[in-house]
């Protein structure tokens, strides 16, 4: 019997509310995403949901978690607890890696159009035009045991990792664990107690995260957990406490072969349920179709859809790492030289009173070690540090700590991201929606080299007939007749949302 080493999706602050352990004043929401106008090329749109990356190397499992948060959350109210069945090694992850994973593998839907030749001079046939095609895409991103002497849970490990202070707890008592969490600022929901009981009986540890003193939420970064043995698993049971209906979950896998769910069903979506004539709204339609497909009778809410499976080279390495990034020049540096040095390294730029940042953590790092004085705009301050030298908080500035943070949060994770993409030739991306009542089984995943590639690009072609009607040829070559002036047929009773529901055995 294989031991389960995984972490719950409560590792994402969007889902921390499900554990009822966050003290954030309101539910966190997914951030990020790109919106694109319709045009002649398939393009990505809003990418929401919870994103986790797994690297499976024999029995070694590496898990990268993108932490999504409400930007209005106060830093001192940000708290996060995840269950673990083994003590992992913690490190800082790369936010640009998730951005590039999302952009490189986003499913896209493209409808090209042509006209049937109806006589007359010249030819009206062939070719895609921006005016007659609708396109869109949808990403439908240790220590020894100790106690505080009060009889509370054992502190198995305690460390600062990037912007987070982490304490790993071991306990045999739910009241004892919840008391410790409450005493240390983790607000709780009594409804979580039975779920804690369940996990404690299974021998789980709990890792409690808080932002380090002086760190704001814009310094939040992904975290990496490495386990020496185990399987890729996303325990969902704890999230059912307060999870939203049809919560979106997206998993990425880097390895040598395609990955599939082991105990969940693999669902193939019926392309006839996509509204090919209204692709500008494909985001809403796509999620609805996926939800209905994974809720089909043979899947019962326990299914994943493969959005992409193929070479990992689709993921750009741009912005992940640069050989010009170097922490050494900051050791012993004067505060007034920091922005100039960062600009020389190509990771930010200030010009004409405006600053641009080429890594999502740079602005947070500056705010932590060179906070903007009251009454000043950030761009004004960082554009001319020498102009405001007398206002710089020298008690906060620490050149050595800044260099250490730059190395640990930006340089090292960036180099690691590049190494992972170079080391692993295959990427699998899967997606599902799941509701609290369906969070009764934890999904496990395994490699299956017999499974085929899955393209992220879905292209159909519409041919306008001389009668004014049209025919749409789907990617699988099925043809749908569209009478003049009518939209995409609903197929409400005729066809299911799922094309097929599979069990993928190892």
Spatial distance between the Cα atoms of 303 and 291, rounded to a whole number of angstroms: 10
pLDDT of residue 143: 45
Give the start-end residues of each E strand in 162-302: 164-170, 205-211, 223-227, 232-233, 247-255, 259-261, 265-269
Query: 411 Cβ partners below 8 Å, 6+ apart?
Result: 321, 325, 326, 327
Task: Assign 320 to helix, strand or coil.
Answer: coil
Q: Residue 32: its pLDDT value, please? A: 24
Say how many C-beta atoms besides its own lie within 10 A of residue 433's C-beta: 24
Q: In the chain, where are the structural domains located? A: 9-316+424-502, 328-423
Burial class (CB in 10 A: 0-12, 13-18, 19+), 333: middle
What local confidence, expressed as pLDDT, does residue 41 receive? 42
Whole-prediction pTM: 0.84
Identify the pLDDT of residue 146. 53
Distance from C-alpha of 230 to C-alpha of 431, rounded to nearest angstrom: 22
- pLDDT at residue number 222: 94
Strand extents, DSSP E, 401-452: 426-434, 444-447
Query: Are 383 and 357 a contacting pair, CB within 8 Å?
Result: no
pLDDT value at position 115?
95
Q: What's the confidence (pLDDT) of residue 49?
A: 66
Give the strand order in the sheet containing 108-115.
135-137, 108-115, 457-464, 470-473, 479-482
The pair phi, psi for residue 65, each rounded to 5°, is -120, 120
Write down the pLDDT at residue 506.
63
Low pLDDT (below 70) residues in the chain = 1-49, 120-150, 242, 505-506
Q: Using an 8 Å Cβ cutoff, are 405 and 368 in contact?
A: yes
């Amino acid at each position: 019997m294989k031991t389960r080493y995984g972490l719950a999706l409560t590792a994402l602050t969007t889902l921390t509310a499900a554990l009822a352990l966050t003290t954030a004043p309101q539910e966190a929401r997914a951030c990020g995403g790109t919106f694109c106008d319709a045009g002649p090329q398939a393009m990505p749109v809003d990418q929401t949901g919870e994103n986790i990356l797994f690297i499976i190397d024999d029995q070694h499992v590496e898990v990268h978690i993108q932490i999504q948060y409400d930007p209005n959350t106060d830093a001192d109210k940000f708290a996060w607890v995840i269950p673990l069945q083994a003590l992992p090694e913690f490190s800082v992850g790369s936010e640009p890696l998730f951005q590039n994973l999302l952009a490189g593998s986003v499913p896209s839907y493209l409808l090209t159009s042509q006209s049937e030749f109806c006589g007359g001079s010249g030819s009206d046939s062939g070719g895609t035009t921006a005016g007659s095609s609708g396109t869109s895409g949808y990403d439908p991103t240790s220590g020894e045991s100790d106690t505080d002497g009060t009889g509370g849970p054992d502190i198995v490990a305690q460390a600062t990792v990037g912007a987070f202070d982490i304490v790993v707890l071991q306990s045999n008592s739910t009241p004892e664990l919840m008391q410790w969490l409450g005493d240390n600022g983790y607000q709780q929901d009594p409804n979580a107690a039975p779920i804690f009981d369940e996990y404690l009986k299974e021998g789980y540890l709990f890792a409690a995260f808080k932002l380090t003193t002086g760190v704001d939420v814009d310094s939040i970064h992904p975290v990496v957990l490495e386990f020496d043995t185990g399987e890729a698993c996303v325990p969902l049971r704890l999230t059912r406490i307060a999870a939203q209906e049809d919560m979106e979950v997206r998993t990425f896998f880097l390895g040598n072969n395609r990955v599939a769910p082991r105990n969940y069903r693999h669902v193939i979506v019926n392309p006839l349920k996509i509204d090919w004539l209204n692709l500008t709204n494909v985001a809403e339609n796509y999620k609805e179709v996926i939800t209905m497909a994974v809720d089909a009778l043979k899947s019962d809410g326990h299914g994943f859809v493969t959005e992409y499976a193929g070479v990992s080279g689709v993921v750009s390495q741009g912005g992940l790492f640069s050989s010009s990034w170097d922490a050494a020049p900051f050791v012993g540096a004067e505060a007034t030289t920091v922005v100039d040095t960062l600009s020389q390294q190509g990771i930010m730029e200030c010009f004409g009173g405006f600053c641009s940042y080429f890594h999502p953590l740079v602005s947070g790092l500056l705010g932590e070690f060179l906070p903007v004085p009251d009454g000043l705009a950030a761009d004004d301050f960082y554009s001319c540090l020498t102009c405001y030298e007398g206002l710089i908080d020298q008690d906060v500035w620490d050149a050595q700590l800044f260099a250490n943070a730059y190395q640990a949060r930006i340089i090292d994770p960036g180099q690691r991201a590049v190494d992972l993409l170079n080391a692993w030739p295959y990427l699998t991306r899967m997606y599902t929606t799941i509701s609290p009542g369906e969070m009764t089984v934890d999904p496990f995943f395994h490699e299956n080299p017999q499974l085929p590639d899955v393209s992220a690009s879905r292209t159909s072609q519409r041919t306008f007939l001389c009668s004014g009607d049209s025919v749409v040829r789907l990617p699988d070559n099925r043809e749908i007749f569209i009478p003049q002036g009518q939209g995409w047929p609903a197929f409400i009773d005729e066809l299911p949302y799922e094309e097929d529901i599979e069990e993928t055995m190892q």
